[in-house]
């Protein structure tokens, strides 16, 4: 069953693009054909969360990113977490917890022209592993407590959905 967490209008992004964004909590995966990206809330077994800094978006966030051609949503999530944190996940352990629905307002943006969905997963991972980014599109990965995570990311438009699944 899906639950609308927030309906946000005219959300601005670092590249100057604008979209309406609905934050939806849902334990069922979004339809693959509509998903252009995936993000993962990685919770450690000791109560911390993996976060990375995106120079392009100019913000801290959970690991994730855009799907490659022919890639499943789960494969995208596993690849992005590995690239951005060095953690190697089993895709079967990813729990769908919601999605962000993007409806473009501006003519440009990183989403498809007609909008689309960004799937959000949650997974548990051992917290003792050091996090290391393999690419420069997400840097300085680290483990944060829930309070540190909230302090660093709590003002972001997507935070209400992430907080709903912590």
Q: Could you say which DSSP state residue 106 is in? A: S
Whole-angstrom Cα distance, residue 152 to residue 26? 25
Of the pLDDT bands very low, low, confident and very high (cuts 50, 70, 90), residue 30 is very high
Instruction: With a cut of 80, say whether residue 163 has pLDDT above it.
Output: yes
Of the pLDDT bands very low, low, confident and very high (cuts 50, 70, 90), residue 88 is very high
Whole-angstrom Cα distance, residue 64 to residue 142? 14
Whole-angstrom Cα distance, residue 21 to residue 129? 34
Whole-angstrom Cα distance, residue 127 to residue 111? 32
Tens-digit pLDDT profile for residues 101-124: 999 999 888 889 899 999 999 999
Mean pLDDT to the nearest integer, 125-131: 84
pTM confidence score: 0.95
- Topology at the third CATH level for domain 3-164: Nucleoside Triphosphate Pyrophosphohydrolase (3.90.79)
Mean pLDDT to the nearest integer, 20-37: 98
Instruction: With a cut of 90, say whether residue 36 has pLDDT above it.
Output: yes
Burial class (CB in 10 A: 0-12, 13-18, 19+), 88: exposed
Mean pLDDT to the nearest integer, 83-99: 95
Contact of 77 with 40, CB cutoff 8 Å:
yes
pLDDT in the model for residue 110: 82
Q: Where are the domains of the chain?
A: 3-164
Give counts: helices (H), strands (E), the chain.
3, 9
Of the pLDDT bands very low, low, confident and very high (cuts 50, 70, 90), residue 71 is very high
Instruction: With a cut of 80, say whether residue 149 has pLDDT above it.
Output: yes
Look at phi and psi of residue 46 and say left if phi exceeds 0, alpha if psi is from -120 to 50, else beta.
alpha
Of the pLDDT bands very low, low, confident and very high (cuts 50, 70, 90), residue 129 is confident
Contact of 139 with 56, CB cutoff 8 Å:
no
């Amino acid at each position: 069953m899906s639950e609308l967490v927030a309906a946000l209008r005219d959300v601005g992004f670092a590249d100057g693009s604008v979209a309406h964004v609905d934050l939806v909590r849902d334990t069922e995966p979004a339809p693959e054909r509509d998903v252009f990206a995936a993000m993962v809330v990685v919770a450690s077994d000791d109560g911390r969360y993996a976060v990375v800094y995106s120079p392009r978006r100019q913000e801290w966030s959970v690991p994730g990113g855009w799907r490659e051609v022919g890639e499943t949503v789960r494969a995208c999530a596993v690849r992005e977490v590995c690239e951005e944190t060095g953690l190697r996940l089993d895709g079967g352990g990813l729990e769908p917890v919601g999605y962000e629905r993007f409806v473009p307002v501006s003519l440009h943006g990183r989403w498809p022209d007609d909008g689309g969905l960004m799937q959000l997963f949650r997974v548990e991972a051992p917290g003792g592993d050091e996090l290391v980014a393999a690419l420069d599109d997400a840097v300085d990965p680290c483990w944060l407590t829930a309070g540190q995570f909230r302090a660093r990311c709590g003002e972001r438009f997507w935070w209400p959905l992430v907080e709903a699944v912590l």
